[in-house]
Chains A and B, each alone.
Chain A
Amino acid sequence: MICVVIKPLTGNYAVAWAVKLGRVRVVSAYPITPQTTIVEKISEFVEKGEMDARIIRVESEHSALAAVYGAASGGVRAFTATSSHGLMYMSEMLWWVAGARVPLVMAIVTRTMGPPWNIWTDHSDFLSQRDTGWLMMFAEHNQEVLDSIIQLFKITEDPRVFLPGMVALDAFILSHTTEPVDIPGQSLVDSFLPERRQPYVFRAGEPITMGNIPSNLKEHMKMRWDIHKSLEAAKKVIAEVDQEWSKLTGRSYGGLIDCYRCSDAKYFIVGAGAWVGDMREATELLRSEGYEVGLIKMRYVRPFPSEELASVLRNAKGVVVFDRAVSPGSAGPMYLDVVTHLTEQNVRVPIKNVLAGLAGVDVTYEDIAGIVKSFINELESKGAISRYIEWYFG
Chain B
Amino acid sequence: MITLWTILFALIAGGILGYSGTLKDFFEKHLDNIITLGLVILLFSMGIKIGINEEILSSLTNLSVKAAVISICAITGSVLIMRILTAKFFQ
- Whether chains A and B associate is no
